[in-house]
Amino acid sequence: MEDQEPGQAELPSMGDVLAAAERIGGHAIRTPVITSSTLDAMFGARLFFKCENFQKAGAFKFRGACNAVFSLSEDDARRGVATHSSGNHGAALALAARLRGIPCRVVMPRNAPDVKKAAVSGYGANIDFCAPTLAAREEMLEDVVARTNVAVVHPYDDSRVIAGQGTVALELIDDVPNLDLVLTPIGGGGLTAGVALAVKSRSPGTGMVAVEPEGADDACRSFRTGERLPSVSPKTIADGLLTSVGVRNFALIQRWVDDIVTVDDPAIIRAMRLVWERMKILVEPSAAVPLAALVQNRIDVRGRRVGMVLSGGNVDLDRLPW
Amino acid sequence: MEDQEPGQAELPSMGDVLAAAERIGGHAIRTPVITSSTLDAMFGARLFFKCENFQKAGAFKFRGACNAVFSLSEDDARRGVATHSSGNHGAALALAARLRGIPCRVVMPRNAPDVKKAAVSGYGANIDFCAPTLAAREEMLEDVVARTNVAVVHPYDDSRVIAGQGTVALELIDDVPNLDLVLTPIGGGGLTAGVALAVKSRSPGTGMVAVEPEGADDACRSFRTGERLPSVSPKTIADGLLTSVGVRNFALIQRWVDDIVTVDDPAIIRAMRLVWERMKILVEPSAAVPLAALVQNRIDVRGRRVGMVLSGGNVDLDRLPW
């Protein structure tokens, strides 16, 4: 997928986020915001969890994929969409395509977990299997595009996808006024860029901090140096956050994000278990990353109203991290 | 605890359920009703899950305990409350007592799981440990009562407790009109008796069926024979449903419940996993028992609107049944 620096015009605006909200309104779930008096007492703050684990296909990814699919012209849509993904984006795009009634192809590594393959094919997409390397995935996707002339929807470095993810923040701010701080996990930066854009447009006084696993800290290093640095052999339990921050994503993050902090895997596992045990909801490791920053005392939240995005709930129940 | 047949006057009425709703209103959570289009499609029905796994102390038990504690006169309350419990009722009573600011003693078997002991003592109750037999528990409780003159709150065979559990159905019926059927898991019968009373009073056309594990089928056998038969060496993964149906509970069940069906443990585990994976919420095995009746095709729900009580979410994450 392309990697050139975007022009100003290619970055999504708040208008694009509002248009996305309109476009996906009939399809995406307006997820609930949940609170927990136990966790509030534990951290001395008021915490508001935006539950994208309850979103269609189990993660916020459906918003961006849905916005991209329903942004296509009739002509483009007819030819279908494609992406490469070993995770939530593939299933999200497959479902969005099914809702519009158009073909979808997902390039997946041959060794992807069966449950992920089942989700993608369950939503009616065609899977093209490839070797488990990024190069093989990109080559296979190029080949698919050359053969079928489908529209590629990148998992995060795509303005329509970023605008779609921003709708998470629109709903959160509507439901919870006067937030002091909003926290997101960060991997490729689709969620963080969209949420930061919407938060700072709608509620400029609200702080915006992204939280990243120590073992995949390219976004943090890029943010500190001002230069987009790639992930090198990332390793973390938060398997949704292994990717490097995208070009468009980084441009928006530099403009709108106040800080990026890192957490270690034991804190992520502890935070994940806290959510499961205290809130009785399933979240995947990546979704517990913002709360891990509180567990590790990396962000001062005492007495503050803090919104946190629980990004997804797709977890293999046979392989829990404790 | 006493075991004599109750007089008519000792059974709770719909008025008691309404009074309980008033009494516990400021304390109990009005839990959400959740739906799942995936599960609806799977079973060809409209399913409405009343999420008592989100209740305070993690189970519906808090409603009954809270109603009992706040029903006490000032004089009785001052002396405190006591019960024996190895499960959710002990924690629920401890929390209710703390909210009223009165002492609470819970008799627990020495071998109860640490997590249960921690919950009870975490809410500030005193634990009296005893040998792990029903006889030892009852003897110890009698001893506690003799020494301290506290009020005993039975886990289910108590009109105040039954009326409290009935508030689950009030909320469900308020939120979801025109239910064809309501399903509850059944153990001691506190939930089933209270819900049946409220359902048949508020919505006489709605069917009311209790679902019981095959390995602890005393309620089903009692219902069929018309005679209250005890549980004999019950064995099931649904550890909240091992107890025998109470006297008051059985009287109400005979009057208001349309049927009791049984399910096996594999179906319970399958149903529990369906709820976790598809709805992204934690429920304990007992809570999955009604859905297990659909998994095993024991109840015809096709085309019907079915309310189901997810009774609790207290599960040991280190000992999952799959």
- Can you tell me the mean pLDDT for B121-150? 92
> Is residue A135 within a helix (H) or strand (E), and if so which, with residue range?
helix A134-148
Q: Which of A273, A277, A313 is opposite residue B280, by nearest beta carbon?
A: A313
Nearest to B273 among A273, A281, A317 (CB): A317
pLDDT tens digits for range A76-105: 999 999 999 878 999 999 999 999 999 999
What is d(CA B275, CA B311) in angstroms, rounded to the nearest whole number?
13
Q: Does the beta-carbon distance from B317 to A313 stay under 8 Å?
A: no
Closest Cβ opposite residue B317 in set A58, A276, A283: A276
What local confidence, expressed as pLDDT, does residue A2 receive? Answer: 45
Report the residue of B88, B280, B283, B319 to disrupt the A interface, i.e. the one with the largest count of A CBs within 10 Å: B280
B280 and A58 within 8 Å at the Cβ level: the answer is yes
Q: What pLDDT band is residue A5 in, cutting at 50, 70 and 90?
A: low
The predicted structure's pLDDT at residue B4:
53
Of B134, B159, B132, B145, which Cα lies nearest the Cα of B83? B145
Confidence of residue B2 (pLDDT cuts 50, 70, 90): very low
Report the b/e string of B282-308 with b at 16+ CB within 10 A. Answer: bbbbbbbbbbbbbbbebbebeebbbbb
Closest CA to A61 of A33, A107, A36, A95: A95
pLDDT for position A4: 53
**Tens of pLDDT, residues A164-194:** 999 999 999 999 999 999 999 999 999 999 9
Pairs of residues, one from chain A and one from chain B, whose beta carbons lie less than 8 Å apart: 34
CB contact under 8 A, B277 and A317: yes
Confidence of residue A1 (pLDDT cuts 50, 70, 90): very low
pLDDT at site B237? 95
What residues of B are in contact with residue A282 (Cβ under 8 Å)? 276, 280-282
Whether B11 contacts B253, CB under 8 Å: no
Q: Do A281 and B277 touch (CB under 8 A)?
A: no
Could you tell me the pLDDT band of residue B1, with boundaries at 50, 70 and 90? very low
Do the chains contact at B280 and A53, CB–CB below 8 Å?
A: yes
Q: What is this model's ipTM?
A: 0.92
**Exposure of A307 in the CB half-sphere (CA atoms within 13 A):** 31
State the pLDDT confidence band at B9, using cuts at 50, 70 and 90: low
* Continuous H helices in A209-288: 218-225, 247-256, 265-274
Q: What percent of chain A has pLDDT over 70?
A: 97
Nearest-neighbour CA in chain B from A304: distance (Å): 24
From chain B, the residues in CB contact with A313 under 8 A are 280
CA neighbor of A88 nearest in space, from A315, A252, A245, A280 = A315
Residue A275 and residue A283 in contact, taking contact as beta carbons nearer than 8 Å: yes
* List of chain B residues whose C-beta atoms are within 8 Å of the C-beta of residue A277: 317
**Which residue is listed with tokens 């249960």?**
B116
The predicted model scores a pTM of 0.94
Q: Write the residue in A32, A280, A322 that is nearest to B282 by C-beta.
A: A280
- Does the beta-carbon distance from A281 to B280 stay under 8 Å? yes
Rounded to an integer, the average pLDDT of B22-32 is 97
Who contacts B145 (Cβ-Cβ below 8 Å, separation ≥6)?
B82, B152
Average pLDDT over chain A, rounded to an integer: 95
Residues A125 and A153: their CA atoms lie apart, in Å, by 14
Q: What is the pLDDT of residues A186-230, one digit of tens each?
A: 999 999 999 999 999 999 999 999 999 999 999 999 999 999 998
Partner residue facing B282 (CB), from A32, A276, A318: A276
What local confidence, expressed as pLDDT, does residue B5 receive? 58
Cα Dmax for chain B? 57
Residues of A in contact with B313 (CB under 8 A): 280
| Side chain identity, residue A75 | D
Q: Which of A269, A280, A284 to mutate to test the interface with B (most CBs of B within 10 A)?
A: A280
Cβ <8 Å between B281 and A276:
no
pLDDT at residue A278 in the model: 95
Residue A85 has what pLDDT? 87
Per residue in B237-289, pLDDT tens? 999 999 999 999 999 999 999 999 999 999 999 999 999 999 999 999 999 99
| Nearest chain B CA: its distance from A280 CA (Å) | 5
Which of A32, A276, A317 faces B322 most closely, judged by CB atoms? A317
- Whether residue A317 and residue B53 make contact (CB cut-off 8 A), yes or no, is no
| pLDDT value for B8 | 54
Asked if A167 contacts A21 with a C-beta cutoff of 8 angstroms, the reply is yes
Interface of B with A (CB under 8 A): 32, 53-54, 58, 273, 276-277, 280-283, 313, 317-318, 320, 322
* A162 has a pLDDT exceeding 90: yes
Contact residues on chain B for A322, CB-CB shorter than 8 A: 317-318
Q: In chain A, what residues touch B58 (CB-CB under 8 Å)?
A: 280
Mean pLDDT in residue range A19-48: 97
